[in-house]
A and B are shown apart, each in its own frame.
Chain A
Amino acid sequence: MALSVEEVVSKTKEIVAPWKDRQGGLIPVLQAVQKEFGYLTPDAMRTVSTEMRIPTAEIYGVATFYAQFHLKPRGRHVIRVCRGTACHVRGSLKILDKVKETLHVKENDTTEDLRFTLEPVACIGACGLAPVIMVDDQTFGRLVPDKVPDIIAQFE
């Protein structure tokens, strides 16, 4: 399953190619790299650096600045628990605790079997249904802690 270094390098080069001589390409390139490999692997970042002639330190700076970029492998599914205001006043902390308890996982961490990554997020934009969680691209609203295990069970 794991890709060889050569494969990572050549795939990354393909992603960088259309952006080589254009302005403002770093973030879209990193987004595409992450989409391809699931996270920003060291080999991919080094390739981006040489191909785009941007120092690795700068790339690392950008990658760690934005919450969306990950330097570690991630689970097959991502659970985003909204910790926005609307959800907070309707009890999102209890939902978060329930997810942590059910999966034995901490915030911003991944279960050992790589099934789930848990991410608290600031607002999903479905505040009308607070409290809300998102699993991958699906939104679940009007939650109570007891509903959490059923939702989790839907994702393998």
Chain B
Amino acid sequence: MPDFSLTPEQESLRDLARKFARTEMAPHAAECDRAARFPDEIYRKAYDLGLMNLNVPAEYGGSGLALFEQCLIVEELAYACGGMTTSVIANCLALEPIILGGSPEQKERFLKPFCAQYQFASFCLTEPSGGSDAGALRTLARREGDQYVLNGEKCFITNAPHASLYTVFATVDPSLRHRGITAFVVPRSTPGVTPGKDEEKMGHRASSTSTVRFEDVRVPVRDRLGADGEGFALAMRTLDQTRTPIGALATGIAQAALDHAAAYSLKRHSFGKPISEHQAIQIRLANMVQAVHAARLLTWHAAWAIDRGQRGTLESSIAKCFASDSALQVADEAIQTFGGYGYMKEYPVEKLLRDAKLTQIYEGANEIQRSVMARELLRAYA
């Protein structure tokens, strides 16, 4: 029998995240959103509690959690603030290529010192000329003896202005397309690495996003992850792991929207009764709760499948796509439930809509998720 109940261990991890989210993150969410402030002191506390490097094996100083437990934590954090959550979990995305593709020596050399301190890493795949078509990336890695020389620019890189380490995808030969892409670990201190200035964003404003330029950056061969041409597969395997927590992040935003809407509907009166007694509002709340519940269960299922050793490409694409579409829908319906107040910045629901929107775009836009789903699905019929 599948079991949908949490173990006591899972409950205590969720409780830790819930307590942190509600006492440390939530009180500052509106202010950080307004001012686009990167709350370093909150992220430091998240690190101190072990909420940051969730996927890094414990032997390298991380929390060593399976995907399911990561998802429980991410949903709780996102309930309080989507943007802070994006920054807290960005290390997971940036370090996953090292976890999956690094040699034992590289893991020892990079992960251990990295996790021993509060610091950020960034995953550098997207480029100004395109993100979805990662096989077409242009950042060049030219081999010179036992070094590579990197030249190019990445954009929309989460935490880049604050990061001390970058995992970078570049091509050794653009004509090879996917088969030329190669992954590198590049410390920020390497000459020629320049993060840009913080982008002004619609949502996730407590997170920080910028370009990173690489100008004649010399990377020793021993800092290459895997062999030449293995980078594309590594990026895809990385995203297979990290896509599901984005489903959890979207679920957290959606749950927050539902909770705000339901509570408000009981207090707000029109035509002599609480609006929760109008059937139109009830139907809307019923649709919202279905979306939230399904988003969570799809996320749990994808995490469960991957934790059991399946690749989970289809499951994680379904979870990420459905949960993010649901988050946008539910946040929209929460605003509608609040009426005019919902449109005001003084109330918390308009932020949820802005935050939800990103979950449809990053870590593989939903169009790409759908084409992945169709590919996986049709394979079974071909």
Whether chain B is bound by chain A comes out as: no
Interfacial residues, chain B to chain A (CB-CB below 8 A): none
